[in-house]
Chains A and B, each alone.
Chain A
């Protein structure tokens, strides 16, 4: 089986499982007492955020490995991971405000975590724009690796600075999602959603990686 085919299979299975997670989340998982139906979006939102973070983490890791070993496969993987991460960030950034409008009463607030994820998205965009703007492959790989590593180091700083910013100047009403101890049914749904999103990430990245290889070449 070629790598591209393998990627398609993984993605197909993941999408099927995702449908299962949706059904479980909507039908077989109890409704949250305070938030009602709106809370259901968490089963998409949180795992998408996880996959986006995973993408960035692996972009950074692949970048370090590329600079150390100079194997172009790491660069290709980083490119694939960044593209998939951008998509997951977009899912996270669109599902978040939908929930926020219902529960917080506002589409957006400059809360630490929200700001962090927005900049995660900007970093992905910058990374991809940079890749598009360098034509020579060797140069592109090295530049991207440098940017990937810097991006990974930047994220904790952004988190810290925005966190400090908000704690020094608390807004009148800062509604923060507390971490409630979930009843087992919800926990199972959420965890399976995390697993499915991780599988989706693997599927997407495999497909994208295979395209970078020039299509159906055996891995």
Chain B
């Protein structure tokens, strides 16, 4: 178990290091996030719908799109020079490989989400300061679930035709439970309601995370083993 985690950490760090050195993907994702937020600002009528009513949807649609971008990138780099074969030949278990990729994806998306949250607060003048801790918790809960599924799928779609299009088509149905839950909880938080009112949603998000992280860990070896 400790070995598995150590290997996962090494693989995750490798990905993050690659990302940090080039910075192309992360910068593109951040700029993309900013642009989506701006488009939302001009795609609504502020006199008709109060910002606070629309805010949870804006935040989560933006996060979903940004996460999709990050996921498309996850295994793409491994295609060049048959890097994936090298990884598979190395004495690292398939589960470590999956967790490493999951770790790197989570870090990538977390950065994008943090910048997105900052810009969101700025652009839409939504007071998130006093609910920051629970909001970050909900963002983490929802993100882990769909990134777990997304990492699994991104390993498959790289070897299909139309990979960039295939990932959203496969992944969006899996986004529904975390997305619905996250939007509900965010709305309650922004409305100043206590977390105890959304216990059901939090349990659902947690259950989703546990089930899909486990399932993806079990299924991932089947997607890469020849």
A interface with B by C-beta (< 8 Å): 67, 119, 122-123, 125-126, 129-130, 133-135, 139, 142-143, 145-147, 149-151, 153-154, 157-158, 160-162, 164-165, 168
Q: Give CA–CA (A158, B169) in the complex, Å.
A: 16
- Pairs A–B under 8 Å by Cβ, sample size 29: A123-B173, A125-B169, A126-B169, A130-B156, A130-B166, A133-B160, A133-B161, A133-B162, A134-B159, A134-B161, A135-B161, A146-B219, A146-B222, A147-B153, A147-B170, A149-B219, A150-B149, A150-B174, A150-B219, A153-B215, A154-B174, A157-B177, A157-B204, A157-B207, A160-B177, A161-B176, A161-B204, A164-B181, A165-B184
Residue of A nearest to B168 (CB): A126
Report yes or no: A157 in contact with B169, Cβ–Cβ below 8 A: no
Q: Give CA–CA (A150, B216) in the complex, Å.
A: 8
User: How many cross-chain pairs have Cβ atoms below 8 Å apart between A and B?
Assistant: 85
B194 at the interface (CB under 8 A from A): no
B212 at the interface (CB under 8 A from A): yes
Report yes or no: A158 in contact with B160, Cβ–Cβ below 8 A: no
Q: In chain B, residues 180-226, which have Cβ atoms closer than 8 Å to a Cβ of chain A?
A: 180-181, 184, 200-201, 204, 207-208, 211-212, 215-216, 219, 222-223, 225
| B153 partner residues in chain A, CB cutoff 8 A | 147
Q: Which of A145, A160, A162 counts the most chain B CB atoms within 10 A?
A: A160
Residue of B nearest to A142 (CB): B222
| A143 partner residues in chain B, CB cutoff 8 A | 156, 160, 223
Residue of B nearest to A167 (CB): B200
Residue of B nearest to A151 (CB): B173
| B180 partner residues in chain A, CB cutoff 8 A | 161-162, 164-165
Q: In chain B, residues 138-165, which have Cβ atoms closer than 8 Å to a Cβ of chain A?
A: 149, 152-153, 156, 159-162
Q: Give CA–CA (A67, B167) in the complex, Å.
A: 22
B interface with A by C-beta (< 8 Å): 149, 152-153, 156, 159-162, 166, 169-170, 172-174, 176-177, 180-181, 184, 200-201, 204, 207-208, 211-212, 215-216, 219, 222-223, 225
| A142 partner residues in chain B, CB cutoff 8 A | 222-223, 225
Report yes or no: A122 in contact with B173, Cβ–Cβ below 8 A: yes
Q: Give CA–CA (A149, B176) in the complex, Å.
A: 17
For the complex formed, measure the closest distance between the CB of A75 and the CB atoms of chain B, giving whole angstroms: 12
| B156 partner residues in chain A, CB cutoff 8 A | 130, 143, 146-147
Q: Give CA–CA (A119, B174) in the complex, Å.
A: 9
Q: Give CA–CA (A134, B160) in the complex, Å.
A: 5
Residue of B nearest to A143 (CB): B156
| B174 partner residues in chain A, CB cutoff 8 A | 150, 154
Report yes or no: A168 in contact with B169, Cβ–Cβ below 8 A: no
Report yes or no: A160 in contact with B204, Cβ–Cβ below 8 A: yes
| B161 partner residues in chain A, CB cutoff 8 A | 133-135
| A125 partner residues in chain B, CB cutoff 8 A | 169
Q: What are the 3 A-B residue pairs with the smallest beta carbon separation, nearest first?
A: A133-B160, A161-B177, A157-B177
Quick one: given A146-B152, A150-B149, A164-B201, are A133 and B177 in contact (CB under 8 Å)?
no
Report yes or no: B219 in contact with A158, Cβ–Cβ below 8 A: no
Report yes or no: A161 in contact with B181, Cβ–Cβ below 8 A: yes
For the complex formed, measure the closest distance between the CB of B199 and the CB atoms of chain A, giving whole angstroms: 11
Q: Give CA–CA (A152, B173) in the complex, Å.
A: 12
Q: Give CA–CA (A130, B161) in the complex, Å.
A: 9
| A157 partner residues in chain B, CB cutoff 8 A | 177, 204, 207-208, 211
Q: Give CA–CA (A2, B146) in the complex, Å.
A: 45
Q: Which of A125, A129, A164 counts the most chain B CB atoms within 10 A?
A: A164
| B225 partner residues in chain A, CB cutoff 8 A | 142
| B211 partner residues in chain A, CB cutoff 8 A | 153, 157
| A158 partner residues in chain B, CB cutoff 8 A | 173, 176-177
Q: Give CA–CA (A88, B166) in the complex, Å.
A: 24
* B160: contacting residue among A119, A130, A149, A162, CB under 8 A: A130
| B181 partner residues in chain A, CB cutoff 8 A | 161, 164
| A161 partner residues in chain B, CB cutoff 8 A | 176-177, 180-181, 204
| A160 partner residues in chain B, CB cutoff 8 A | 177, 204
